[in-house]
Amino acid sequence: MKIISYNVNGIRAAIKKGFIEWLKEENPDIICIQETKAHKEQLDIGVFTELGYHQYWFSAQKKGYSSVAIFTKIEPNNIEYGIDIKKYDDEGRFLRADFKDFTLINSYFPSGTAGGPRQDYKMEYLADVQKYTNELQKTQKNIILCGDYNICHKEIDINNPKNKKGVSGFLPEEREWVTNFLESGFVDSFRMFDDSAEKYSWWSYRANSRPRNVGWRIDYHMVSNALKDRITNAYIMPEVHHSDHCPVTVELKLEK
C-alpha cells in the first residue's frame, strides 16, 4: 500500500500546475492533503472520483485557509472529522480514517511563524495531539500520523541549523516534542531508509531556495512501532513541483 502526504499550498493552484495529471500517474492508494485552502464546493471534485478515490474533506470555517483532505481508493470503516477541540477544528487541521488494519491521521500542524499567540497555539496543539494519540493507542496499535508538522526534528533536517536558533519550526521545545512523540511509540519512517543530510520537503519561495536546495524537512509519516516491520519503503519526492512543499511517501504491507 502506498500512502502519500502532500501539502499542496492551495489545491486549486496545484491543479493548475498539473496536480491531477501527476496523481493519475503516481496512483497512490491513499493521498493525504494539507492546506487545500478550499471547500469542496469550490472545485470540481468529480475528477478525483473518476480516478477511483473516495474523498473526505475537512475545511476551515474561513475560506481559503488551512484545511485537510483524504483521498483513498480503499473505503474506510469510519471517518472522524477533527480532534473535538473547537479552536483547532475551526481551522480544519485534523482528519482521521479508520481502516480494517490501521488508523490513518492526516494533520496540518500550526506554523507558529507569526509568533506570540500563534506559537502558543502551536504548542497547545502539539500537546493535545500527543494526548489524543496516547488515548488512541489504548485501543488501536496500528497508527499512521502523517502531514505537515511544521517542525524540523534534528539539525540534519534543516539547512544551516546554526542560523535557525530561535526560529519557529526549529525551537528546542518543538524538537523535544517530536522526540517525545516518537518515544511514545512511533518511528520516523523516512529515517528508517535514509539518514543522509539535505533531504527536504519544503523550500521558501524566496531567494531561489528550491533550486539551491535550501530547505526544511517538515513533512512526515510517523508510524506506530506496531507497524514498523511492515514498512517497506519511505521517500521524499523533491522532483514534484505543484507547491512550495513536495510529496512524501510511505509504503507498507497492510490489509485493505
Active site residues: 148
What is the number of other CB atoms lying within 10 angstroms of the CB of residue 91? 22
Three cell numbers written together for 177: 516534542
Q: Measured between alpha carbons, how far is 123 from 228 in angstroms, rounded to an integer? A: 27
CA–CA separation, 67 and 63 (whole Å): 9
The CA–CA distances, whole Å, from 170 to 184, 219, 234 equal 20, 14, 23
8 Å CB contact between 65 and 91: yes
Which helix (H) or strand (E) element contains residue 30? strand 30-34
Distance, CA of 217 to CA of 166 (rounded, Å): 17
* Nearest residue to 197 via CA among 247, 250, 147, 152: 152
Chain length of the chain: 256
